[in-house]
Structure 1
């Protein structure tokens, strides 16, 4: 198998592991093996340096070079992984301008000694043509550059065309990319450019443009003439340019590898809008590329997209080199020119890969990961015996001292004084500021282990049990009239007894059976007890209360509550009679935040809602307007 380079916008470096086939092993090593790549360029990593972990930096058999945003968090980011068994770069840089500095250095890349530079940096005159300064354009972690003896590899993530306030940044970054590539080619270096460029080259590369041209809302010339697209097509061989070429861009310098293998293939898209579920209907655009300088265009044996691999709103794109290529009129094995001189000869390794080949920008040299032992080393080497003994402090002593520090001795003393002295606030305390005891949940964690003083009245426990009943108790069927009442229920205040004897009891409107009518008459015939003799009236009041509760039908009450809190049924779409899906608007305006129902099926290739087809129909219902 030939040497292979794969580019993929992962939309978050851990995002693919939520999908098959990556979710099985959930390691980068396994991912790269499935991709069958020797160099993997990932964009939109959306990670900060402090969030880097061993599994994404110390990948067994791989080296990595990160470019992370300087200011924005969880944004942008590019990383290039290289397989140690097949390739090793000789130089590495971050950024397009060369104004950034290598790790642990204050000297910019462009000011390093000549033998340590990749070269092709924009001149002062070229930088002065940009509206933004060089440091700002390189501050978002959008470019990693590696140099091999064979070529210079640029891994790019260009800004998207989403916000007008970012137009200057986007155009400035693209101008900078154009300048750096042309400068490298002018130096005589071969260039390989790959990544998410966020530009569709032509009408064949964008589904929405094909639909707009068919409807007559735009023309192909208008689409091609957009500033970013015009710049990109002037870089590409056979790129379509309207009118005369711009000054300094008279000649194309890059070759579209993937399109050269599929010149007339439609629907070869690499990105789909997730919000409208456009991937099943293949309503997308081609914005991820593998490009090379013109003197390398016959080095490749295959190139394609991998639209079947899930894990992002983009799909991987790869280019595969031939085993041997023509270099300076001679056939050379690809491995010989992808490693430092002398490491391979005719595709056979002569020198083993060592950590001495790591470049300053390598992720393995980040202080948090440098000189770390692997798991294999931990098992192969015997740990040094230590004469020091671990501390013998018992766990119980530590816990006790920690508890005393947490609550303080004063808190324990105040807790034992009871009602005579107010206690300080203690977590999960059962005391309130008025001295009453609140009911605790049966599933709550036990309070700290502090002995309770005997000065607490014994009635406090009963009072806590006699708290109000839970809502669940109203739905349970009641017992017989003559059943004995618990002591906690008989400790109600005199006001409750007065309410029971002050007048006729309320009767539910659901009484319909004759036996219930008789029970009601028997309840009403119970004589009212005087409020002065509360103790003697308790049995009668209790039995009357229980009889009145048995009149209420729990099934009817439960149904009423269920209707009150039940969710509305999901509407069916008009075209397919399938349950709709609920979405909410995020567009600024009066409807922002409102929920609505639409057909669950994905958009078709046309990008529009269709009638009488297998794709999404025109069903649209505001959630507030839906009445089943």
Structure 2
């Protein structure tokens, strides 16, 4: 049996990569991953945005957890061919479905839930259990032989005090959720378990050793203390006295470069400049069943790669082989009610027709109502043509101004008008009004010149000089300098060479929101790697490895100006 975990960085990003873009259904994608239990993190979607193909792919049973507040953020899912006997969302036991889960449907006894045996928080602050389970980070499934926890831990992306506390509290809640059972924890833990799991581990240790006076033990302790997540993970693993075993590292104890996450913004995956933050952890009682465990860096589609665990189908025993199939609860009476197959939108239940429509529009008041529907206008209503003209000039004014109420007509006026023509329905304009000429001629639209002073920048002044030189060329045909300048202006930019390697650079575009968004720039074309030059502010000169990317940077506009100056 194979268990696979993968931070997919968005359920809709996978089909953009090969070979997923050749597969037409979610079922085909899951089949291609070739696992019995598939755990996803960072779904980045909501229940309302899930299609039936993604929510209930046959023959898988699917479970989801979405964030309560944000959309397109976090979220975890489990697709399994093996039907679990129980399923829950979150770690606290406070998240529930309707009707609520019974004691028999619960995975753990009441004492195992933090709401019944509170977890101590750091300092004097109490844990906000509902808040810890509000971001769609955990699913818990009971397969009889073991309890599976699919988790997406908070990252270190911010130094905000509230997020640091949230991360610490979440770690504590995860590690203290007692099951008294065999447990498999899979997912993105957003922490490194050792120095070897970080691409900059050796450089970091070297710097910490210098700060610690040359003591290696002090340097290693400083590494763990730098990030709370590292220290928590070390203490949770067996090497630090904890209950969990990192089965992938156990299979490959000295393997370097076994990374699962890369920064795609700097193309770090091509040079394997990454970290290992995705894990499969098991309790010691399951180790005899572990056949193999590994990462799958060849699988593309995310900034993470999958991690897999294979279990033996049977184990030898003095009383006969123990079959994994018999150890698992595969004869569940029914699929747990948390499954997406019970969602109303996919369950096949008949829904009331009213649910497909919004709220009914307010009933229009009759002519005999004592309360007018709008303020009474004492001025005569404008003719249809003027109304049409005003409507065409500003559509926003239609819904913002009250509709004038017509004064009651006398009996003679009513009889007279009825003889002439059939009255128009309320608010309906005559067809002829659409062909009426406006009373005043339409004024031409005048586009004023921009007063933006920024237009007079260096590029603009250079273009002016080129234009003047072109006029001069007309007067003196012997001059070819202007011709060369214009030729350089229209020619594509030739990439400059970086100063360290003297190699052609590559051009990129700023995508980050801000004043520079959309601008092009050139950087060194070599890949990043341990010791690549991040700049003097972030990298000591003695730690720079010239084999990797240098810190060359130049705006494309500057490169073009330099080329034009040579021609002018």
Whether these two folds match at TM > 0.5 is yes
**Candidates 50, 67, 78, aligned match of 1:80:** 78
Q: How does 1:203-602 map to 2 (within 5 A)?
A: 203-216=195-208, 219-225=219-225, 226-239=227-240, 251-325=241-315, 331-341=321-331, 357-371=334-348, 410=429, 412-418=431-437, 421-422=438-439, 434-435=441-442, 511=474, 568-574=493-499, 575=501, 577-584=503-510, 596-602=521-527
After superposition, the Cα gap between the structure-2 partners of 1:26 and 1:368, relative to the gap in structure 1 and judged at 3 Å, is same
1:181-201 deviation digits (Å, cap 9, x = unpaired): xx11xx2x1101100001100
Gaps of 5+ in 1: 240-250, 344-355, 374-404, 423-432, 439-506, 515-555
Partner of 1:542: none
After superposition, the Cα gap between the structure-2 partners of 1:19 and 1:417, relative to the gap in structure 1 and judged at 3 Å, is closer
Report the secondary structure of 1:207's partner residue: coil
Gaps of 5+ in 2: 212-218, 351-423, 446-469, 535-543, 564-568
Partner of 2:57: 59
Distance in 2 of aligned mates of 1:101 and 1:321: 32
Kindly indicate whether the alpha-carbon contact (under 8 Å) linking 2:147 and 2:182 is maintained by their aligned counterparts in 1: yes
Kindly indicate whether the alpha-carbon contact (under 8 Å) linking 1:127 and 1:134 is maintained by their aligned counterparts in 2: no
Report the secondary structure of 1:275's partner residue: helix
In the TM superposition, what is the alpha-carbon distance from 1:20 to its structure 2 partner?
Answer: 1.3
Kindly indicate whether the alpha-carbon contact (under 8 Å) linking 2:532 and 2:546 is maintained by their aligned counterparts in 1: no
Q: TM-score, normalised by structure 1?
A: 0.62
Kindly indicate whether the alpha-carbon contact (under 8 Å) linking 1:127 and 1:133 is maintained by their aligned counterparts in 2: no
Partner of 1:71: 69
Distance in 2 of aligned mates of 1:52 and 1:34: 21
Kindly indicate whether the alpha-carbon contact (under 8 Å) linking 1:282 and 1:605 is maintained by their aligned counterparts in 2: no
Please tell me the root mean square deviation across aligned C-alpha atoms, in Å. Answer: 3.6
Q: Which has the larger radius of gyration?
A: 1
**Candidates 129, 150, 170, aligned match of 1:155:** 150
Distance in 1 of aligned mates of 2:171 and 2:185: 13
In the TM superposition, what is the alpha-carbon distance from 1:17 to its structure 2 partner?
Answer: 1.4
Distance in 1 of aligned mates of 2:133 and 2:118: 15
How many residues end up aligned between the 2 structures? 435
Partner of 1:617: 550
After superposition, the Cα gap between the structure-2 partners of 1:612 and 1:284, relative to the gap in structure 1 and judged at 3 Å, is closer
Partner of 1:174: 171
1:535-574 deviation digits (Å, cap 9, x = unpaired): xxxxxxxxxxxxxxxxxxxxx9999998778775443434
Distance in 2 of aligned mates of 1:303 and 1:603: 28
Matched, 1:127 2:99: no
Distance in 2 of aligned mates of 1:611 and 1:116: 55
In the TM superposition, what is the alpha-carbon distance from 1:607 to its structure 2 partner?
Answer: 4.3
1:410-446 deviation digits (Å, cap 9, x = unpaired): 363134333xx44xxxxxxxxxx624799xxxxxxxx
Distance in 2 of aligned mates of 1:233 and 1:513: 79
Report the secondary structure of 1:298's partner residue: helix
1:104-142 deviation digits (Å, cap 9, x = unpaired): 23x4x5xx3245443431254533536431000000000
Distance in 2 of aligned mates of 1:286 and 1:622: 34
After superposition, the Cα gap between the structure-2 partners of 1:74 and 1:585, relative to the gap in structure 1 and judged at 3 Å, is closer
In the TM superposition, what is the alpha-carbon distance from 1:366 to its structure 2 partner?
Answer: 1.2
